[in-house]
Amino acid sequence: MMPALSALDTMLADIRVAARTPLDDRPAAVAEAIRPYLDDPRLLAEKDCPCCPDRYIRHLLGEGDGYAVVALVWRPGQMSPVHAHRTWCALGVHRGVLSEHFFQAGETPCPTAVHLRGRGATSHGPASPELIHRIANCSAEVAVSIHVYGVPFADFAEGVNEVLA
C-alpha cells in the first residue's frame, strides 16, 4: 500500500495540471489549483519556512516545466517593491492577511486600489507592464502566501519582477 500524498504534494500535482492550461487561462487555472489547499494547516508541515528580519523571503516548494512554486513569508510591516511582472503569476494566502495595492502606470506609479487578501484568497495576472502592484503585510502577525511564477526558480532574479518604485 502506497502512503497518502501530503497536502503539499497534492497541491503541487494540481498545479502541474493547471500549468498545462493555454497561456491566456493559465494564471486563473493555477490560482484555482492553489485555492483548495490554502486553509489546510498541514500544507507546509514538512517544510521549514523561517522569516527573515530584513525583508520577505521566498522558499522553494516545487518546480515544473517552466514554472516554480514558492512560499513567501512576510513579517509584520514587510512589503514587496512596487512592480509589474515579466511572467504570469498566481498567488494565494495561506496564513495571515496581506494587502495587494494596485497602481496606474506612469512615470511615477499612482495608487488606484487596495484589496485585503485573507487566508484562502487568491489573485493572479498575466505578464504585463500595465498590471502594477505591491504586496504588503500591514497586520501584526506573520503572513504566508503561496506564489506560482511562470519561470524556473533559477531565473527569479531577472525573470519575475519589473521593479518600478
Q: At what angle do helices 7-18 and 26-34 cross, to 10 degrees?
A: 160
7-163 under CATH 2.60.120.10, yes or no = yes
Q: Which residues of 68-86 are buried (b: 16+ CB within 10 A; e: fewer)?
A: bbbbbbbbeebbbebbbbb
Residues of the chain with pLDDT under 50: none
CA dist 11 and 34 (Å) reads 6
DSSP 108: S
C-alpha cell at 121: 484568497
* Phi–psi pair at 9, nearest 5 degrees: -60, -40
What are the helix (H) ranges across the chain?
7-18, 26-34, 156-159
Domain coordinates of the chain in residue numbers? 7-163
The pLDDT score that the predictor gives to residue 165 is: 76
The pLDDT score that the predictor gives to residue 3 is: 64
Nearest to 131 by CA among 158, 150, 108, 103: 103
**pLDDT tens-digit profile of 137-159?**
999 999 999 999 999 999 998 88
Q: Which residues of 97-115 are buried (b: 16+ CB within 10 A; e: fewer)?
A: bbbbbebeeeeebeeeeee
Does the predicted TM-score (pTM) go above 0.75?
yes
Grid cell 495576472 in the structure block, residue: 125
